[in-house]
Amino acid sequence: MYNNILTEIDLGIGIITLNRPERHNAFDDVLIGELSAAIEQMATDPGVRVLVISSTGKSFCAGADLNWMKRAASYSTAENLHDSRVLAEMLRRLAQCPKPTVARVQGAAYGGGVGLVACCDVAIGTFDVQFSLTEVKLGLVPAVISPHVIAAIGERYARRYMLTAERFSAAEAYRIGLLHELVTDVEALDEAVGEIVDALLNNGPFALAACKELISAVAWKPLSSEVVEDTALRITRMRASPEGREGMSAFLEKRKPNWIAQG
């Protein structure tokens, strides 16, 4: 069904694998369209509770396909803008996916590849991964990825790495918050991703979606009366919800909640 990605759903885990290794998984209009459609499919499929973004080949993702970007430069302004919006919307779709998302990062991540990692809720990478926000080197700006990258690493490090376009290591990515966990090799990567996925699968699916909404509603906001009231409303709703009632009852009755496979 897709040409440049692979998709798989198994035991509640959806996996989207970037599969354009001959171009280091650089995204052009086709890959962006496929990724967008697959993210939407995973987001709405009740059989998917966690989404993993993975890759084949030497790189996780070499960012935007520069042939595609160059082509877009010759389009009319309206067509050029349309292409940029499609990419921005794909990233937003991933960042706002109601299911928790995990980036399984092996190989280089450049430009938009850093954006993809930043859009995921949890990011785990191998020690040898190299990152770079190369856009300014190419006379461009890391525009559509910037909200996600700045949310992940903060304005201070965004200033350094967006302006220098220097390469930085996985250890540095870990230090500045782009990666949550560093592992030695791909075997350890699969194990670490598996542990995170298992932890996520233990949690209430509606609670996870509500928690993602909560984080984006509260993050970066001053502690105003509106924010405080909003948080009170959110817990009020959740504790009265079927999932909240079930989760609390299961704890008090010393049994597993109904979203965890029994036995």
Residues that bind ligand COA (CB under 6 A): 23-24, 26, 58-59, 62-67, 108, 110-111, 134-135, 138, 140
Q: How far, in Å, CA of 91 to CA of 144, rounded?
A: 8
Q: CA-to-CA distance for 167 and 152, rounded, in angstroms?
A: 17
**Smaller CB separation from ligand COA, 143 or 215:** 143
- Least distance from C-beta 110 to ligand COA, angstroms? 4
Strands 130-132 and 167-169 come out as antiparallel
Q: Which is nearer to ligand COA, 111 or 205 (CB)?
A: 111
Residue nearest to ligand COA (CB): 111
Beta carbon of residue 134, minimum distance to ligand COA (angstroms, whole number) = 3
Would you say 50 or 64 has its CB closer to ligand COA? 64
Return d(Cα 170, Cα 180) in angstroms, integer.
10
Are the CB atoms for 107 and 60 separated by under 8 Å? Answer: yes
Q: Which residue number, 142 or 205, has a Cβ lying nearer to ligand COA? A: 142
d(CA 169, CA 154) in angstroms, rounded, equals 17
Closest approach of Cβ 144 to ligand COA, in Å?
10
- Pick from 130, 29, 152, 45: nearest CA to 89: 29
With respect to ligand COA, which residue has the nearer C-beta, 13 or 133?
133
Shortest reach from residue 21's CB to ligand COA, in Å: 9
Q: Which is nearer to ligand COA, 24 or 49 (CB)?
A: 24
Closest separation in Å from C-beta 247 to ligand COA: 43
C-alpha to C-alpha distance for 28 and 61, rounded to whole angstroms: 11
**Helices first, then strands: H and E counts in the chain:** 10, 10
Three-class SS of residue 207? helix
**Total Cβ atoms within 10 A of residue 26:** 24
CB of 159 to ligand COA, least distance (A): 18
